[in-house]
Every structure is written in C-alpha cells, then in structure tokens.
Structure 1
Amino acid sequence: MEWPPERTELFPEDADNPAEREALQIVVDFEAVQARLAEFSIDDGTRAALRVFAELADVSGFVSRLREDWRALDPSEVAEDEKGCALVYAAFSELFSQFPHWDFSPRWLNALTSAWLELIAAGVPADWLLGAANRMLDRSLALAFGDQPGGARRSVDLVRAVNKVVLFLCAILGEAAAGYRESLHVHAEEFDERSGLPNLRQAIAVLDKAVTEGKPGEHVAVVVLRIEVGPVLLRMPAALSRRLLRQMVGRVHRALRPRDTLYLGAEWELVVVLPALANAPHVTLAMTRLLHLFDAAFPILGREYRLTPVAGAALFPEGGRDAETLLQGARLALHEAQRNGERSEIFRPEMDHSAARYAAIEQGFLQALRDDRLELYLQPQVDASTGACMHAEALLRWQHAAGETVAPQFIVEIAEEAGVSPQFSRWLVTRAARTLAEFALEGIPLRLSINLTANDLRDEELPDMIEQALTIWNVPADRLTLELTESAMISDEQHSLGILYRLRDLGCRLAVDDFGTGYSSMAYLRQLPLNELKIDQLFVRRMDESPQDREIVRSMIQLAQGLRLEVVAEGVETKGTWTLLSEYGCQRVQGYYFSKPIAVTDFVRWWHERRGELVRPAD
C-alpha cells in the first residue's frame, strides 16, 4: 500500500438511494501519525507486549466481556436516536474485536479513523467518545488479567504498553475529530448541502482549467440547465424537495461522460462542464440528451413528479475566453430560450446586445414603477344589443426613455424576473380603483377589468390588498372585474381556488380571459367561481370569412350560457362580426371597430360624446 494512502471517501454519494449520506472527504495526515508514534515510543518492544496482551485477552474472553461493559455505559442520551446508539455499539465492538491485529499500519489507522469519524457524523460528541475509549482501555487490563494466576506481577510492561496506546489513540482520534470539523467547514463552502454537488465556485475553477489545458482543435462547453419552478415545487416540503433534487442529480450524473463534471448553480439550476468536445455540434447533442432525461417522471413515495427543464450553452472560444464569461453566455442563451418558448439555445454574440437592451428596459421599468410613470389605457366594451358602453378593459402602457413602447406582456415578464410582481400588482389595483373613483365623480357608471397573472394567484395577500385599495377609494367591489387566463387559474388549482373564492366573497367579478387558447377544461369551468367568459380574438377576427370560427364561437357562447356566464368577445373589427355575435347571444363586444385603447382622459371625453347614443364606428 502506498504511503500515504489515497484520501478516503467516508460516505459515498448515491443520489437515488433514500438512505444516502453526505459525501465528505476526510484527509488523514499520516506523516503526523508517524510523528505521534515516535512521540509515544510505540516501538518494537511495545508492539511485542501488545501481542502478549492480545493473546491474554483472547484467552480471557476479553471481547465479549468488554462488549457487556460497554453496553453498561449506555450512550442513548448523547446519540441522536436509537439507530445512532446501535451504530456506536457496533463500531466499538468491531474496533475492539480487532484488537489482536492492531499493527499501527496505514491501513489499520485509516480504518480506525474512518470508523471513528463515522461515529462523530452519527451525532455522538467526540469528547464523550474519547472519554469512553479511555475508560474502556483502562478496564481492559482488569478484564485481561483478572483471571490469570500471577497476572498482576506480569502486567507491568503490559500496563505501560496499553497506557501508551490510550494516550496515542486519544491524541490521534482527537486530531481526527478536529480535522472532521474543519472538513465540514470546507465542505460547506464548496458543496451544496441539499444536492451534495460541488458549487458554482468549483465549476468556475474547473471550467477555467479546461479552457487553459484544452488541446488545439478541441472544444470546451458549459451547459446551464434550469428547472421551471412552479407551484408544485414552491409548496413542496423541504425533505421531499431534497429527495427530488437528489434523484434529478443522479439521473443527470449517470448520463455524463466520465470527464464531464456536474455542479449546482442557483436553486434548481445545474451547471455541466463539457471538456474535450470533438466539434461544436456535440454540445447540441449533449443538451438534447440532457433534456430527454426529463421526459420520464421522477417517482417518489408512490407519486410521480415531472420537471420541465430549459437549457443554455456557451462554447469556448466563441462564447467567451474565460469561465465567468462562458457561464454568463450560457445563462443568456437559457434566458433567450425561455423568452422564445424554446427548450434550448446556444449563445450567439448578438445575445449580448439583446441582454443589454433588456437590462436597460428593466432598469427603466423599475424606475417608472417607483416614480408612478406607468399608465393605464382603456378599451371600451359595449353592449352587443344596444351599443351602450358600461364597461372597459384597462391595458398597461409604458414608453421606455428611448421612445420605444414596451408590450404589456413584456412588462409583466420583467416584473416577475425582477422580483417586483407584488409591487406592480399593487400599483395596478390601486390605479384601477382610483380610475373608478374618478369616473364616479364624472358621473360615469362604469365597470373596469384588469388582468392578473398566475403569480398574483399565489399571493395570499392579494384579496386583502384589493379590499384595501377599494376601501381607500370608496369603490364598490362589483365595479372591478379581474381577468385571468385559463392556465393561470389551474397552474396550482387547489391554491388558486382558495384565492378566487376569497375574491368572489369580496364582491369582485371574475372572468376567464382568452378562452379557447388554453386548457379549456369543462371540469374547471364548473368548479371556478366565474362571472364572465371572454372569447379570444383569435376566433373572433375571422368570423366573417371562416365558417369553422363561427361555429367555434357559437359553441363557446352556448357553453357559457349553459353555465350562466356572461360572454365578452374581443377582436371585433367589422360590423358583420358585431352582428353575428349579437345574434349568437354574446352580451358584450370589444375591438377596434369601436375604439382602440385610449388614455383615461380621452376615454372620458369619448364616453360623454356618445352618452345616450348607440356607439358609432371609429373614425
């Protein structure tokens, strides 16, 4: 055996094994052990005395009697649990049953130290263990010589030998315990506790090394794979989340080449370093293979969990010449894939410009939110039979400093990614309540619709926040309609239902928006406390020309009528479409035929000009 031996992995990681233990590397300093041996003079004479002691111990039944003596110590008050106690008993029994073979060799010392550290890892204090070992070795003299004639006279050398062993073991094992604590500290700095994976700091070091040591003609890539965190993961208990993460890590790890390495980046984000790729297309193949790993569910405790991954990659040198730049490029590619609804992307230089533009817009939006420079534009919804306008939809408008009008959906995305969704929703609800209060002063008995997101339905404080805004502005709750998409309502069905019923009890009206473009489940329509169903413009715009669209819209209206829901159709651009919808029984219509979205002051003027009259076509 080489001296010193390889460092020992005490608890090998098995990510798919529920009984797995933390991977922790402990380095035994055998040079220090040799120095200790010399310090305590455990020479050939001492070893010979110990061999005699071993023979006497064997004759005297030392091991079985010592085991009974050990059990009398009862460590149940210091071990974590019954299993920990059993581990302590077993380890000490094994330790002393091997006493005749104590040869102080590197192999023996390594086994001893590993067993000792496993006891400490089980939760038994090191000081208590050292004291117990000391008492047991002292007791061993009486057990070994008690039944031997003249044992006391012949035991002086053996007593000295055993005492040296006691001191030696206490010193070595004390150092091992201190080393264990230091290793825990180092491990915490370099490894993620939940996944057992090395962290991003190590990923950057390995990636830099791969770039520096790469051979000409070989490619180095880094892949960032991120799991979409939905309500299921957000509400999952910590223990179950850890098991799911470990199982995911195990599945990915087994799919990698021996030379590839896996790390944990942010939460639910894996980083894979792929060195020595033969050509650039191999990174595309690697990403495809990684994504396919998630096609199968992850079974845990009798249930199956499905995870949705998105991946981004960057190649050296095209995507950067150092680890941090490559990692940044991979994350930009991942972000681009998410924005485009793709599963994966490879970094391209133009993504840097896109990211810079996105960052500028984000900063501008955050400043506009703080300075209250966002605006609501209103689009009328008119009675399909009379043309009277008693309802409008509030649509977000914001113009970036560069003069660019930013799409509402993009603004919502920025708010979510910047972590300001609650503040943005509060601004939206408060501005809508203030607008309704201003309408009341103008003598306009209008209802107003605003759009909420799936994130809003995860906010337990949403109903209280809406109630507070309506109270401050003295607005009846039934004047405010909350529109949500089908997917938002069922993204976390049970939790969403609770929020929706609280909003309904508050008195607000609830509408399902863009009906027909999502899940369109009859079951959820029956369960949700809805007042309105809004037909998406995708089906409305072509009703004049498409018999299929006409039939789809007619069926939707009949369905809503059967469920006693009011029907709103958006995307009305011709008088013919308006007429058809009215004939089908649609209650309200909305679209450019009546008016495009306009500023609040323009809407007030528009409404007063048409008061008491049928709405005329827009100019």
Structure 2
Amino acid sequence: MTTTSASPESLIDFAAFDLGEDDLRSLASLASLWKSSVTAECARSEPDAALQHFIELTVALPGEIADSDWQQRWIRAWHELLGRGYGQVEILRWFFNIVDACEKILLGGRDSVGRVLLSLVGTLRRSVIAAITCVLEVDELAQQEAGGLPGELAALRFLRELLQGGRVVGLLSVSLANRDSFTYLDANDLQRLPATLARRMRRHLREEDRVFVGREGEWLVVLPDVKVMSQPTLAAAHLERMFGEPVPLFSGRKVMVRSTIGAALLPQHGASAETALHAARLARWGAQGRRQSFAWFDAGFAESWQQRHELAEELREALFQETLELHIQPQNDLADGHCIGGELLLRWRHERTGWVPPPLIMEMIEENGWRLMFNDWLLRAAMRAAAELEKAGIGIGLSFNLTAADMLDDDLPEFLEQNLLTWRIPGERFTLELTESALMFDRAKGSSIMHRLRKLGCRIALDDFGTGYSSLSYLVSLPLNELKVDRSFVVAMLDSADSLRVVSTIVDLARDLGMMPLAEGIEDEQQRVQLLALGCVAGQGYLYAQPMTVEQFIVWYHS
C-alpha cells in the first residue's frame, strides 16, 4: 500500500527535517526517475540476493517512505548488506550518487528553474537524509546498549547545543594507531577495550568534558568553554601520556596502545557541528600521514583529503571497470639463472598522476571496505595470468599476497576453490604470500584457513620474514612452504655484518624446517654470489628483471 503520511509508529523523524504530509505525497511523482537512478547506480555492484532485496525496497522509497512496516524492512535489509560485507560508506555513497543523478536530470540544462521543481528536489534530498539518519540512529542505539557509551550522533547533538549557546568548543578526534595489532585478543577483552579506554580518558579530563564513541576505533572528546588554544593541546598531551601506559584487561593481560589525535575549534574551524567534526578528523588524518601523534586542523588537510577522496573514487571505478593490473616479477634459480616462478604485483596507472603506490591502493581499499570486491578481481586476474602463461607454454608457479584480514575470512578457501575449478587450474600453480603481521591476529582461525588453502594444493609463503614479530612457534606450527628474506637485509648484507648474520640465520632456519628460502631485492652479482654461498637457492630482483606485464613476461621468458 502506498503511504501518503507518516504513521504514529514511524521510525523516521520527518518533523526534524521539516517534512510534512504534502511533501511526502509529492515524492510519488519521482517514482519512475528514482527507480531508474537506483537501478543504474547499483548495477555497478556484483548482484546477490541481499543486494537485490535491498534494491527492491529502495526503489519503493518515494511511495513507501512514511510507512513504518516499509521502514523496518528497509532498515533490516540495510543491516543485512552490512553483514554480507558491504561497507557503510559504500551504501551511503550509493544514495548520494542516486540523489545527485535525480537532481541533474530534473534541473540540468534548464535556463531557469521553477520554485515547485526546486522544492521537489529539496524534498527528495531531505527525505533520503532523514531515512539514512534513522538507520544510523538505530545503529547508535544498539551500540550504546552494547557498550554503554554515547555515540557520534549524541556528540553532534551536544556540539549543536554548545554552539547555540555561543560557546567556544574544542573537539578532539582520538584513534588507536596500533588497533590492528589487538585482534589476537579474545572477544571479551576486545569488546571491553573501548569502554575501558573511555573511562581512563575521563579521568584525565575536566569534569565538564565529554567522551563519545565515534567510528571504528575512534573516540570524540568535546571540551566546552575553551579560552585559549593551549587547552585542547594540553588535554591531548594528557591523553597521550595516558595511552602510553599499559592497559590492564579483563583477562589479566596488559596491552600497550598508541594514539593519534586531531584537534579543531568551534566555530573557528567549522560553523556547524558536522563541519567541525570533519575538521578534527582531517587533522587526525593529517597527523597519521606525517607519523605524528597530534595535529591541529589546517586548511591544507582539507585539500589533501579531497585529493585522496577523489583518488579513492577513481580507484572504485577502476575496480568496477577492472583496469587494475597484475605485473609479474620473475623468481629465479640463483645457481643457473633460469626462471622458476613469478610474483604477481598490483599496479594501477592513474591517467593524471601515473603509477599509484600499491600500499596506498591497499590503504584505500581497506578504508572503504572494498576488500571483498578487490579479492574477487585479484583471484580472477591471477587465474587469467596463469591461463595466459599456460597457453604460451610457460608452466611456472605464481605467487600473490594476501592480507591479515584474508586470514580471518572463512569464505576465502571456498572462493579460491571455485576460481580454480572455473579456470581448470590446479592449486599447485599458486603460492599465497602472507606477512608476519597477518599471523598476529587470530592464530587458531588463521591456521585453520591456511590448512584449508593447503588442501587445495596451494603453497604458503611467509613474506618479509625478520621485519615483524618473528616467532619460531609460527614456523613450526603453521603449514608454511617458503620463507622470503626481506630486501632490506639483502641490500645491506654486503656492508653490514648484522644484516649478513640475519640473512644467514633465515636461510639456515628455512632449510632446517624443510622450507625454501627465497631472497627479495637482488640487484647485483655480488649479492647473488653471497646468497648462494649462504645456501639460498632462489631469489628475485632487478638483477634478473623488473616487474612487467604478462605479455612482456612471455616475451622475456622465451628470450
């Protein structure tokens, strides 16, 4: 049934967005335009049952938005998408793009725009924002019930109240710089950690200061009635010292935490609560980029963030259009020089800035929740590369990198198996490379997933060994086939006795445990000779070849 007015049980607060019954009725005239815009935007995503259900409900938004039953079903469908791996930011971006598309069609190319049409566009935008706000508030209520801490929307309401009173307010965006290293903790400790740290923060602040939970791994600290800029700086310094102390957990463990803090003033750095919060987060983002623990908002951060945001948008398009590339760097036998394998390396050539550093690509993928989409592309691209080499008569093995998050993904082995069956490629053709940091997470779960990958025939390599949290227990308990000696040791070993000892130790350790040692970053003949003398049998580096496209590799291999 099409709804023309909000029911008393409505979850969406239309009055807060100045939306009346006539406004809601007027949305029905946009039903056809809205449907085509929704379909066009969501067509870029891989279809699945959860997304299809969400699209069907979203298409009905202009006629059903005021119906409480539709609201409940739509909110449940939103959360089902989150549970299937879609990112909150990704879903929000869909809606902003859909509204923008409708607005362009309604207003674009007109010499003049009538008041009725402008009102209709404004009603659509406010209605969508009202619906999205409702979803976020439901999330926040659940978060408060779970953690007992007020969230971001409560912080924004508090900031608005302070601004309306004409008060100068300091705002700190605080995050853990090393939060990824805590995932090895048990669920009880992880769940209690935010509240534990929030209580400790309150003890280092004034009585009138307030602490809220922001986005993942973030706290928002509101400092009312700031007299001078040194006050927020001093508060940040107190928090930094607090974070520098060991944190006792419920299990009896203690962990060390490191913080990054961004600061902004209201109204100097933002006339509204939302813009000030954005400024504080930009300051924190700027501090992270400079490897600093604290930074004030600077207008330059906004420009840098905008550039990164635009780059992320173009990366998303590159993922959809599959214009990312995998290049191959040969892996060679150090004794006779013949090619025994190749490492698949991520490459993206941006049309304006040229080649984008792979670590930056992966940062943006993780930040925006695109890991599953990227893995889908990565596995298909790896299979395609193996098939092209096979067609050219090159049957060597190929390796590619997995992330720490992949080692917690129960679906990864099945997903890989499906690709192997589809492309009719044996698992033995692939070596999956992990960094030591990936092993610091859930050891039991990671080990289980690694054993499932090994059952597919895949080899497992430990990348950059010696640069992280090296532990012999990993080497004897996990199904590893290969140890890769980090290039930093290889490059320095001819001039540094310590680096030479490290390389020698890693090579001996690998051989003693029945693994193959493979050295990275070999650049000259002296390094190759030294590695051979130490017993290292394989390596890769510019001495043999730089990474190249599959087509270039085929020509290089046959020559």
1:530 match: 480
Q: 1:318 to 1:594 in 2, by over 3 A?
A: farther
2:152 match: 200
The answer (yes or no) to whether the contact 2:437–2:469 under 8 Å persists in 1 is yes
Q: 1:334 to 1:581 in 2, by over 3 A?
A: same
Q: 1:544 offset after TM fit, Å?
A: 3.3
User: Quick one: which of 287, 309, 322 aligns to 1:372?
Assistant: 322
Bigger drift between 288-297 and 410-419 goes to 288-297
2:284 match: 334
The answer (yes or no) to whether the contact 1:190–1:202 under 8 Å persists in 2 is no
User: Quick one: which of 516, 527, 530 aligns to 2:466?
Assistant: 516
The answer (yes or no) to whether the contact 2:324–2:346 under 8 Å persists in 1 is yes
User: Which whole-Å deviations, capped at 9, do the CAs of 1:242-275 have from their partners, x for residues lacking one?
Assistant: 5444333322222220221222323543211112
1:571 match: 521
1:497 maps onto 2:447 in alignment: yes
AA matched with 1:352: A
Looking at structure 2, the residues matched to 392 and 301 of structure 1 have their Cα atoms a distance apart, in angstroms, of: 45
AA matched with 2:169: V
1:275 match: 224
Question: What is the correspondence of 1:559-598 to structure 2 with a 5 Å cutoff?
Answer: 559-598=509-548
User: Which whole-Å deviations, capped at 9, do the CAs of 1:36-95 have from their partners, x for residues lacking one?
Assistant: xxxxxxxxxxxxxxxxxxxxxxxxxxxxxxxxxxxxxxxxxxxxxxxxxxxxxxxxxxxx
2:404 match: 454
1:45 match: none
The answer (yes or no) to whether the contact 2:184–2:441 under 8 Å persists in 1 is no
1:249 maps onto 2:198 in alignment: yes
1:221 maps onto 2:164 in alignment: no
The answer (yes or no) to whether the contact 1:422–1:456 under 8 Å persists in 2 is no
User: Quick one: which of 590, 593, 599 aligns to 2:549?
Assistant: 599
1:286 match: 235
Q: 1:318 to 1:534 in 2, by over 3 A?
A: farther
AA matched with 1:461: D
2:437 match: 487
Q: 1:322 to 1:466 in 2, by over 3 A?
A: same
Looking at structure 1, the residues matched to 169 and 338 of structure 2 have their Cα atoms a distance apart, in angstroms, of: 65
Question: What is the correspondence of 1:308-319 to structure 2 with a 5 Å cutoff?
Answer: 309-316=259-266, 318-319=268-269
Q: 1:198 to 1:390 in 2, by over 3 A?
A: closer
The answer (yes or no) to whether the contact 2:183–2:442 under 8 Å persists in 1 is no
**Structure index of larger Rg:** 1
The answer (yes or no) to whether the contact 1:214–1:276 under 8 Å persists in 2 is no
DSSP-derived class of the 1:193 partner: helix
User: Which whole-Å deviations, capped at 9, do the CAs of 1:16-39 have from their partners, x for residues lacking one?
Assistant: xxxxxxxxxxxxxxxxxxxxxxxx
Q: 1:583 offset after TM fit, Å?
A: 1.7
User: Quick one: which of 371, 386, 393 aligns to 1:436?
Assistant: 386
1:394 maps onto 2:344 in alignment: yes
Q: 1:268 to 1:558 in 2, by over 3 A?
A: closer
1:550 maps onto 2:493 in alignment: no
Q: 1:276 offset after TM fit, Å?
A: 3.0
Looking at structure 2, the residues matched to 591 and 267 of structure 1 have their Cα atoms a distance apart, in angstroms, of: 39
Q: 1:283 offset after TM fit, Å?
A: 2.1
Looking at structure 2, the residues matched to 291 and 607 of structure 1 have their Cα atoms a distance apart, in angstroms, of: 54
Looking at structure 2, the residues matched to 235 and 490 of structure 1 have their Cα atoms a distance apart, in angstroms, of: 10
Bigger drift between 412-421 and 336-345 goes to 336-345
Q: 1:191 to 1:488 in 2, by over 3 A?
A: closer
2:116 match: none
Q: 1:267 to 1:555 in 2, by over 3 A?
A: closer
**Percent identity over the alignment?**
37
Q: 1:260 to 1:341 in 2, by over 3 A?
A: same
The answer (yes or no) to whether the contact 2:189–2:249 under 8 Å persists in 1 is no
Q: 1:303 offset after TM fit, Å?
A: 4.8
Q: 1:340 to 1:528 in 2, by over 3 A?
A: farther
User: Quick one: which of 336, 357, 370 aligns to 2:307?
Assistant: 357
Q: 1:605 to 1:190 in 2, by over 3 A?
A: closer
Looking at structure 2, the residues matched to 194 and 607 of structure 1 have their Cα atoms a distance apart, in angstroms, of: 58
DSSP-derived class of the 2:492 partner: coil
DSSP-derived class of the 2:249 partner: strand
Q: 1:338 to 1:494 in 2, by over 3 A?
A: farther
Looking at structure 1, the residues matched to 468 and 181 of structure 2 have their Cα atoms a distance apart, in angstroms, of: 18
AA matched with 2:460: L
1:263 match: 212
User: Which whole-Å deviations, capped at 9, do the CAs of 1:128-163 have from their partners, x for residues lacking one?
Assistant: xxxxxxxxxxxxxxxxxxxxxxxxxxxxxxxxxxxx
RMSD: 2.6
Q: 1:456 offset after TM fit, Å?
A: 0.9
Q: 1:553 to 1:500 in 2, by over 3 A?
A: same
The answer (yes or no) to whether the contact 1:486–1:519 under 8 Å persists in 2 is yes
2:246 match: 296
Q: 1:301 to 1:254 in 2, by over 3 A?
A: same
Q: 1:302 offset after TM fit, Å?
A: 4.4
AA matched with 2:400: I
1:478 maps onto 2:428 in alignment: yes
Looking at structure 2, the residues matched to 536 and 232 of structure 1 have their Cα atoms a distance apart, in angstroms, of: 25
1:11 match: none
User: What's the TM-score once normalised by structure 1's chain length?
Assistant: 0.63
2:35 match: none
Q: 1:548 offset after TM fit, Å?
A: 3.2
Q: 1:573 offset after TM fit, Å?
A: 0.9
Q: Which runs of 5+ in 2 are unaligned?
A: 1-136
The answer (yes or no) to whether the contact 1:224–1:272 under 8 Å persists in 2 is yes
The answer (yes or no) to whether the contact 1:214–1:220 under 8 Å persists in 2 is no
The answer (yes or no) to whether the contact 1:194–1:246 under 8 Å persists in 2 is no
The answer (yes or no) to whether the contact 1:195–1:249 under 8 Å persists in 2 is no
AA matched with 2:532: S
User: Quick one: which of 506, 512, 516 aligns to 2:456?
Assistant: 506
The answer (yes or no) to whether the contact 1:195–1:246 under 8 Å persists in 2 is yes
The answer (yes or no) to whether the contact 1:210–1:220 under 8 Å persists in 2 is yes
The answer (yes or no) to whether the contact 1:192–1:264 under 8 Å persists in 2 is no
1:427 maps onto 2:377 in alignment: yes
Looking at structure 2, the residues matched to 189 and 449 of structure 1 have their Cα atoms a distance apart, in angstroms, of: 45
Looking at structure 2, the residues matched to 336 and 427 of structure 1 have their Cα atoms a distance apart, in angstroms, of: 31
Q: Which runs of 5+ in 1 are unaligned?
A: 1-184, 610-619
Count of aligned pairs between the two proteins: 420
AA matched with 1:272: V
Q: 1:602 to 1:301 in 2, by over 3 A?
A: closer
Q: 1:373 offset after TM fit, Å?
A: 0.8
2:364 match: 414
Q: 1:607 to 1:332 in 2, by over 3 A?
A: same
Looking at structure 2, the residues matched to 234 and 541 of structure 1 have their Cα atoms a distance apart, in angstroms, of: 33
The answer (yes or no) to whether the contact 1:390–1:445 under 8 Å persists in 2 is no
Bigger drift between 503-512 and 219-228 goes to 219-228
Looking at structure 2, the residues matched to 544 and 246 of structure 1 have their Cα atoms a distance apart, in angstroms, of: 50
AA matched with 1:468: Q
User: Which whole-Å deviations, capped at 9, do the CAs of 1:209-230 have from their partners, x for residues lacking one?
Assistant: 4456567xxx631012234654
Looking at structure 1, the residues matched to 516 and 411 of structure 2 have their Cα atoms a distance apart, in angstroms, of: 28
